[in-house]
Amino acid sequence: MQAIHDILQWGRINSNFDHLEFPGVVPRSFIGPLILSALTYPAKLLSNNQGMFIQVYARTALGLLVVWANSQFRQEIKSIFGQRAAKWYGIFCLTQFHFTFWTSRMLGNTLALAPMLIAQKLWLRTLFARNQYQSERSYSQMTAILAFTCVVLRFDIAVFALAMIASKLACCSWRLIKQTTVIVVISILLSLAVDSYYWQHRWMWPEFHVFWFNSVQGHSSEWGTLPAHYYFTGFIPRLLLGALPFACLGIMRDSRASQLAAYYAASVGVFSMTAHKEWRFIFPAVPLLNLCAALGVSKPYRSAVVRSLVGGAAQVLSAASLAIAVAMTYISSLNYPGGHALALLHEIEPRTGVRVHIDTFAAMTGVTRFGQLRSDWVYDKTEHLDPSQFSRFTHLLTSQPDLYTGYGFETIAVQTGYAGLNVGWPLKESGPLPVTIRQEPLVWIMRQS
């Protein structure tokens, strides 16, 4: 998000770019942000450079890109598996929180999701094509897209890419190997040219840098670890919600679903061998598992009673998933106290010449450069400062107010945020619902007295 702002604001690299002014972030390629900046540029012209409008437009552009790619994948499902399967695939996607809410998040995983969905469309065509020519042609196109996506956008996509490529090695040829090698080399050179310039670092290939740091040197575990089984027992059930039992049903009843699931299960198994786990690493598995769920519902049953029971259960669980998704969307809106605190500071402080320091927690919970609305203010995110060094700031956005009360700062406002759920029993002790959302003060706005 910061990269898109800086590209739209300045274009050419300079010391004002966020990653140069406040170094230390994990390097990611600027190629994705450059593409999104081009799509967002009309909003800058139409909005007279109004920051938050441009941010919403940028996220909308990314979301629409993913929606378009998903519609292409769904169209292929319709072509191969039929209208009913395509309908249920769409229902399962729309009623899942993560798949809808996160399609506009400015993450490398989301940027890679659009080409990955197109690659998955081609994968279906490769496996289930009516003739060998179409299968080989789709395989070649899929390999090219996966090669670019892995090299430029997300290196960990390679785990899924290798499984997809291995599924139809009969389509592989020396010509295809040469073609893929050329695409990989061109993608590396493109990343080196663009990212060495924007990162101001010689020979910068961000995805290889991150792979080396996290996987080879083993630093990913510093971000937390989870048991080996957690992708299968924790993340996948949360990602699929009501589609989970039907995905299992589809895998058991349809050989095509079991074939697709086997390759992706192997990929998730590879991810399971790393100690650090995040659901976004296996995000590409969600469309395929939703397809398996759609086949579990749509494949004909001999018994009319069983058919009615399965259809009814699918409707009930989809409705329950939608209710959960709506609730989680509201909860997620409470996860940005930093952004809300910055907006509140703009409302309550009319002065010019303000110098505000934004601590790490505030910066990670909604503060973006699009929200830094005052050109006559200074916004500073420098880390690891001693409290005594904060005398040069007029205001603070902090999650640790006690550190600064002894240095001449006073609290002028507090921003609350999501802090968990309260489960009450009996119901009369927790209001009309047995579960209530707990909000607590998370970001303090402080002013130098």
pLDDT digits (tens, 9 = 90+) for 287-317: 999 999 999 999 888 888 988 999 999 999 9
Rounded to 5 degrees, what angle do the CA atoms 382, 27, 230 make? 100
What is 264-328 written as a DSSP string? HHHHHHHHHTSS---GGGGTTHHHHHHHHHHHHHHS--S-HHHHHHHHHHHHHHHHHHHHHHHHH
Pull the structure tokens for residue 286.
């969600």
Judged against a pLDDT cut of 80, whether residue 252 lies above it is answered with yes
Judged against a pLDDT cut of 80, whether residue 420 lies above it is answered with yes
Q: Write down the pLDDT at residue 222.
A: 84
DSSP state at residue 183? H
Dihedral (CA of 301, 307, 309, 314) sign? positive
Judged against a pLDDT cut of 60, whether residue 427 lies above it is answered with no
Q: Write down the pLDDT at residue 428.
A: 52
Find the distance separating the first CA and the last CA of the chain, reported in whole Å.
34
* Cα(184)–Cα(187) distance, integer angstroms: 5
Judged against a pLDDT cut of 80, whether residue 387 lies above it is answered with no
Q: Please write the tens of the pLDDT for every residue from 135-176.
A: 999 999 999 999 999 999 999 999 999 999 999 998 899 999
Q: Write down the pLDDT at residue 303.
A: 85
Q: Write down the pLDDT at residue 425.
A: 57
* Cα(12)–Cα(37) distance, integer angstroms: 13
Q: Write down the pLDDT at residue 435.
A: 78
Rounded to 5 degrees, what angle do the CA atoms 285, 36, 1 make? 85
57, amino acid identity: Y
**Containing H/E element for 444?**
strand 435-448
Residue 446: alpha-carbon gap to chain centroid: 32
Q: How many residues does the chain have?
A: 449
**Containing H/E element for 71?**
helix 51-81
In percent, the amount of the chain with pLDDT more than 70 equals: 98
- At residue 121 the predicted structure's pLDDT band, cuts being 50, 70 and 90, is very high
Q: Please write the tens of the pLDDT for every residue from 343-381.
A: 999 999 999 999 999 999 999 999 999 999 999 999 999
* Cα(142)–Cα(145) distance, integer angstroms: 5
* Cβ atoms of 114 and 65 closer than 8 Å: yes
CA distances from 347 to 50, 299, 439 (A): 16, 57, 22
Judged against a pLDDT cut of 90, whether residue 400 lies above it is answered with yes
Judged against a pLDDT cut of 60, whether residue 431 lies above it is answered with no
* Cβ atoms of 104 and 110 closer than 8 Å: yes
Q: Please tell me the pTM assigned to this model.
A: 0.93
Pull the structure tokens for residue 414.
């507090």
* Cβ atoms of 37 and 8 closer than 8 Å: yes
Q: Write down the pLDDT at residue 221.
A: 85
Judged against a pLDDT cut of 70, whether residue 430 lies above it is answered with no
Give the chain's mean pLDDT: 92
- The stretch 190-196 carries a mean pLDDT of 97
Judged against a pLDDT cut of 70, whether residue 392 lies above it is answered with yes
Phi, psi of 63 (to 5 degrees): -60, -45
- The stretch 220-237 carries a mean pLDDT of 92
- At residue 179 the predicted structure's pLDDT band, cuts being 50, 70 and 90, is very high
Q: Write down the pLDDT at residue 130.
A: 85
* Cα(423)–Cα(440) distance, integer angstroms: 16
